[in-house]
Amino acid sequence: MLSTNSKNPVEHFVTLFDNNFLPVGLCLHASLLKQSSSFHLWIVCMDELVAQNLQKLSLPHVSLIPVSEVEDSRLLAVKPTRSRGEYCWTLTSFTPQFVFERQPDVQRVTYLDADLFFFADPKLLLDEFENSGRHVLITEHAYDPRYQRFGRAERSGRFCVQFMTFRQTPESAKVMHWWQDRCLEWCYARAEDGKFGDQKYLDQWPVLFAEEIHILAQMHKTLAPWNVRYFAEQGQGSINPVFYHFHGLRIISPTQVQLYSGYQVGKAAEFIYQTFLASLLENIAIMRSNTIPLPCLPLRKDFLGRCLALKRKFWDGEAFANIPSVESAL
């Protein structure tokens, strides 16, 4: 058993991904190895292939949870009605419970999106949560005001399901079970009646669970493509995140990575992407040395896909990098 009762307690994290996101998930793990003093990462394996590949890699401080072992009758009932991505969103609300059930002495679990990467010890954020005395931690999107005009915050919600901590308390369980019930009822990749995936439900929490939740104050430490340029400008060009959310990053071919899409990240973010690319290339090399093929998610090539690509290129913003050359990035 992994002890949480010591002078240097183990911090427990949980994430989920399928084999398409294996390289990104490996980067998340590598960043925790570098930045976190004592951690354990639980990975919900969304397909058999990623479970096999992770077993082959045998990562330190990692436990695997095959999705087939945690799917109950409620989850299996809604699974046929959801896309793979939507089903992942549905499962997100259950991931802390999966850990508590497997190791009852764990005091708290933090859910992480697989495309997070740590630049500093997450303890900086978790200490704020600990001092709050609350039971659940959530983070805001903290959109750049320039994106507020386009309704992105209204569609996606005030809060981001990217870094969420649940203590093992009845108060936390009340919030988590409410969220699980909502996601079982409705969890789709579209905005409808004030809902969007698993995420917009969180907008109700400050009212429904005012005494249970803590909203992270250190928004400038939780950066993403939608806010990094704004916080860099506020800091006169300086940023120092605890984590960066690599939303939109995807390996589109064996020789190219889409770094981001739909946002303007600014010059200050260059070191963030260069650091991640270095980690990505290291982990791709590890995969290759273990004869694990590199999964790719090609961009759409139909007429609509080409139109969207032109819009991103000339209006929204996007960037690409080559594999294996880091020097060509950005």
Residue range 174-195, pLDDT digits in tens: 999 999 999 999 999 999 999 9
pLDDT class for 154, splitting at 50, 70, 90?
confident
Instruction: Reply yes or no on whether the pLDDT at 4 is more than 50.
Output: no
Question: Are residues 191 and 262 both part of a single domain?
Answer: no
Q: What span, in angstroms and rounded, lies between the C-alpha atoms of 54 and 33?
A: 16
Instruction: Reply yes or no on whether the pLDDT at 329 is more than 70.
Output: no
Which CATH number belongs to the domain containing residue 119 in this structure?
Answer: 3.90.550
Question: Are residues 158 and 64 both part of a single domain?
Answer: yes
Mean pLDDT, the chain, integer: 92
Instruction: Reply yes or no on whether the pLDDT at 67 is more than 80.
Output: yes
- Mean pLDDT along residues 101-124: 98
Instruction: Reply yes or no on whether the pLDDT at 325 is more than 60.
Output: no
Half-sphere exposure for 197 (CA within 13 Å, toward CB): 19
Question: Are residues 150 and 76 both part of a single domain?
Answer: yes
Residues composing the chain: 330
Instruction: Reply yes or no on whether the pLDDT at 132 is more than 70.
Output: yes
Q: What span, in angstroms and rounded, lies between the C-alpha atoms of 179 and 201?
A: 7
Question: Are residues 59 and 182 both part of a single domain?
Answer: yes
Do the domain assignments include residue 239?
no
Do the domain assignments include residue 2?
no
Cα four-point dihedral sign 136, 142, 148, 150: negative
What is the percent of the chain with per-residue pLDDT over 70, rounded to a whole number? Answer: 91
Question: Are residues 256 and 219 both part of a single domain?
Answer: no
Instruction: Reply yes or no on whether the pLDDT at 312 is more than 90.
Output: no
Question: Are residues 52 and 120 both part of a single domain?
Answer: yes
Name the packing angle between helices 170-185 and 95-102 (round to 10°). Answer: 130
**Residue span of the structural domain in which 255 resides:** 247-322
Question: Are residues 78 and 187 both part of a single domain?
Answer: yes
Do the domain assignments include residue 139?
yes
Question: Are residues 218 and 251 both part of a single domain?
Answer: no
What total number of domains does the chain contain?
2
Question: Are residues 28 and 122 both part of a single domain?
Answer: yes
DSSP string for residues in 310-325: HHIIIII-EEEEESS-
Question: Are residues 65 and 156 both part of a single domain?
Answer: yes
- Mean pLDDT along residues 276-299: 95
Instruction: Reply yes or no on whether the pLDDT at 150 is more than 80.
Output: no
Question: Are residues 141 and 26 both part of a single domain?
Answer: yes
Do the domain assignments include residue 238?
no
Q: What span, in angstroms and rounded, lies between the C-alpha atoms of 104 and 99?
A: 8
Do the domain assignments include residue 6?
no
pTM: 0.93
Give the amino acid at 276: F
- Contact between 17 and 87 under an 8 Å Cβ cutoff? The reply is no
